[in-house]
Amino acid sequence: MKIHIFPKNEKYVEILITVFSVILLLSIFFRVPIDKENTAVTFFFEDDSRVLFYTGNEKIEDNVELIIPMGDIKESPQDFLKKVNGKYVGNMEFYGTTDFVKEFYKKTGYKKIVKVHYIKPEEIPKYDAFRLFKRFWRAVVERSVEVIVVPNSETSVEAYKIFSNFFQVSMRIPKPDDTTWNNKIFGILLGIYVTLQMPFAVLSFLFFKDYWFYVSLVSILGTIGCYFSAKNNFFRIVNFALLGILTNFSLYSFQYLNDLEIYRGVKISLVLLPSLLAVIIFTKLGKENIFKKSHIITFSIIGLLSISYMILRSGNYGFVTKFEEDIRLLLENIFIVRPRTKEIIFIPILLLSTEFENAFTKALFSFFGTFALVSIFNSFCHIKAPIYVLTYRETITILIGVTIYFFVVTFIKLINIWTGKE
């Protein structure tokens, strides 16, 4: 009897996706109020004496409310704990000493740690009030920061006024994000979901005690299982969204909500499926003598460039051109939360892959289509973002991508009718 690595019955996969869709929609519904409570925010101007940018040499005065570690701090977490003396510690994205803060939490268990977004004085001239407001907006809506620190300037004050029209700004530093949910229940569900599509993934449960490794392993394997178990590209899109949501719920805890831990294995999860599919395509088309030398060179160059691009654009430090930033702002103004650009491009490519008869073109589009799927999964691995924002963002992005696909297909059909091919 031949043993199949992935299920061959499409109906089985459809039922599995439907059942887990119901479970996760209910889970999202019950989680929304918790995430809404975690969007409280306060503002400080940089010259406020209640905020201290701490490098290890400054004296911590009694009136200081927030200590933000910066630079190369030499003192031990235990010595820093004594100095903190019950005050809030800021875990500042982009410019802070996040490694020190993570080590501080790991060694002491100190929980009065809040996420901080900071704009440097030299950055202010690049913004008008509205663009600066939109940066505040993203920091809160997409990353749930509790504190925003800005230079005291006319632009900052005007941006703050706009921001306060949309958000209730707290006069006190909000409590760090937290939850009482048992995330390991969802970790088990994640393992079950992947195993039901790729049975040998059950071995992942052997690593359950090393929980972060278990979640990374089973979810990365899931990117393979979710692709090859579903044959319909629309179901593949839903499958990867469910995989991402399950991964998000599996890590939904204090450490991940407050940027003290992050999902590990992002780059592997982004490149494993495209790389594996590229190998399968090369092998299959090579055996069928469909590949020409020009095909191999073209596929290899475009493939390597695309994978490199996905790696470079992962994380918070990806380069964005001025043109793309303007497009992002336009989309954000229309949809409230900015849809994901990569998916708007690659979802139509994924769906169009079934429209071609030429084997090489079909393979090329299938390869690029995998970037849409792994991006959908990756979107939900940003645990600190509210789940309702992530869900809305992905829903809008997928709908835009599907709409573009239908427009392209309709346009092609009209051309074929016009030219008499149909």
One domain, residues 290 and 389: yes
Does some domain include residue 219? yes
153 and 240, same domain (yes or no): no
Task: Say if residue 188 is in the same domain as residue 334.
Answer: yes
Are residue 47 and residue 15 in the same domain, yes or no? no
pLDDT band at residue 292 under the 50/70/90 scheme: low
Q: What is the pTM of this model?
A: 0.91
2 or 68: which leads in pLDDT: 68
Same domain, 202 and 311: yes
Tell me if 169 is assigned to some domain: no
Q: Is residue 305 part of a domain?
A: yes
Do residues 405 and 234 make contact, with C-beta atoms less than 8 angstroms apart?
Answer: no
Q: What domain count does the chain have?
A: 2
Q: Final residue of a domain: which of 119, 135, 164?
A: 164
Residue 26 lies in a domain: yes
Same domain, 143 and 266: no
Range of the domain at 85: 42-164
Q: Supply 19's token pair.
A: 């059942």
Q: Say if residue 70 is in the same domain as residue 22.
A: no
Of 102, 131, 164, the last residue of a domain is 164
Mean pLDDT, the chain, integer: 89
Per 3-state DSSP, what percentage of the chain is helix, strand, and coil (rounded to 5)?
65, 5, 30
Among the candidates 140, 164, 188, a domain finishes at: 164
251, 325: one domain: yes
The helix/strand/coil state of 230 is: coil
- Please check whether residue 172 lies inside any domain of the structure: no
Same domain, 128 and 105: yes
Considering the domain architecture, whether residues 158 and 22 belong to the same structural domain is answered as no
Which pLDDT tens digit goes with each residue over 239-291?
999 999 999 999 999 999 999 999 999 999 999 999 999 888 888 877 777 66
End-to-end CA distance of the chain: 45
> How far apart (Å, rounded) are the C-alpha atoms in residues 116 and 54?
14
Has residue 120 been placed in a domain? yes
| DSSP code per residue over 322-364 | HHHHHHHHHHHHHHSSPPPHHHHHHHHHHHHGGG--SHHHHHH
DSSP output for 257-272: HTTSS--S-HHHHHHH
Domain assignment of residue 171, yes or no: no
Same domain, 185 and 295: yes
pLDDT at 84: 93
Q: What is the pLDDT of residues 182-231, one digit of tens each?
A: 899 999 999 999 999 999 999 999 999 999 999 999 999 999 999 999 99
> With contact defined as beta carbons under 8 Å apart, do 54 and 171 qualify?
no
Same domain for 273 and 124: no
